[in-house]
Structure 1
Amino acid sequence: MSENNQLDMALLSGYLDNLGAEIVQQMLDLYQQQSVVYLNDINQAMEVQSQPDWQESCHKMKGAAGSAGLIGVHQKLVAIEKSTDSWPIKKQYFQELSTLNQAAISCFTQWLSNEQ
């Protein structure tokens, strides 16, 4: 997936212009660390089949992804956050989300390295 589909270029360019590359790198690093926690929470909700925990965990990650300019991840979370599909379907969503998140982080990392 290209940067245009993964990243909110206007938001990230604004961050870069206003905050500088070092702060944007710190933001990416923090998102990377936090996304591991969010994905673990979503996975845990799935394992215990808790709809409220699923929604809460997806909601938290959705906000973080949106703030970090990861529009593909944000859109996926918007689509699955309130899903009442079966847990096997949610497991597919989770796998798709994990893959999408890694791709988005890679895009962000590559974009930032090109901007420095």
Structure 2
Amino acid sequence: MLDVNQLDEELLNGYLEQLDKSIIAKMLDLYIQQSRIYLEEISAAVEADSQEQWQDRCHKMKGAAGSIGLKQLHAKLVMAEKFSEAQSQKRQLLTDILALNETATAAFKAWLEQV
């Protein structure tokens, strides 16, 4: 079942009006590839205990998530970008982001199959 709370359907429907469905699918594929890199970089920032790297990497992923309408993930990354708690708390937040990214991309795929 499609979790509509995950997605900015207004944005996605706007894309659908302007772009071919295959292009939207390519956008998702590109996001998935890029998000793997961002998540690795966010993880490295946690391990390096670098607030500057953490903020920079969360910021980049936030923009990518927002641009393809992953509404809840974007909101989580907005919060994460400014998160300055201890390394252990960042590890937990990263775990949450990883899970939410999986849920959000699955919701996008389900949406794409329905349109």
Normalising by the smaller structure, the TM-score range is: over 0.9
The residue number in structure 1 matching 2:44 is: 44
Structure 2, unmatched stretches of 5+, are none
* 2:91 pairs with 1:91: yes
**Cα deviation digits, residues 14-47 of structure 1 (max 9, x gap):** 1011101011000000000000000000000001
Runs of 4+ in structure 1 deviating by more than 3 angstroms, as ranges, are none
The structural deviation recorded for 1:3 is 2.9
Establish whether residue 14 from structure 1 lines up as the match of residue 3 from structure 2: no
- Does residue 23 of structure 2 align to residue 23 of structure 1? yes
- Aligned ranges 1:75-90 → 2 under 5 Å: 75-90=75-90
Question: AA paired with 1:47?
Answer: E
User: What does residue 112 of structure 1 align with?
Assistant: 112
Return 1-10 or 30-39, whichever deviates more.
1-10
Task: Answer whether contact 2:58 2:81 (CA < 8 A) is retained.
Answer: yes
Residue equivalent to 1:66: 66
Cα RMSD for the two superposed structures: 1.1
C-alpha displacement at 1:2, in angstroms? Answer: 5.3
Instruction: Specify the SS of the correspondent of 1:85.
Output: coil
TM-score w.r.t. the length of structure 2 is 0.97
Question: Is 1:35 paired with 2:35?
Answer: yes
The share of aligned pairs that are identical, in percent, is: 48
What CA distance in whole angstroms lies between the structure 1 residues aligned with 2:50 and 2:78? 18
Q: Is the 8 A contact 2:4 2:107 kept in 1?
A: no
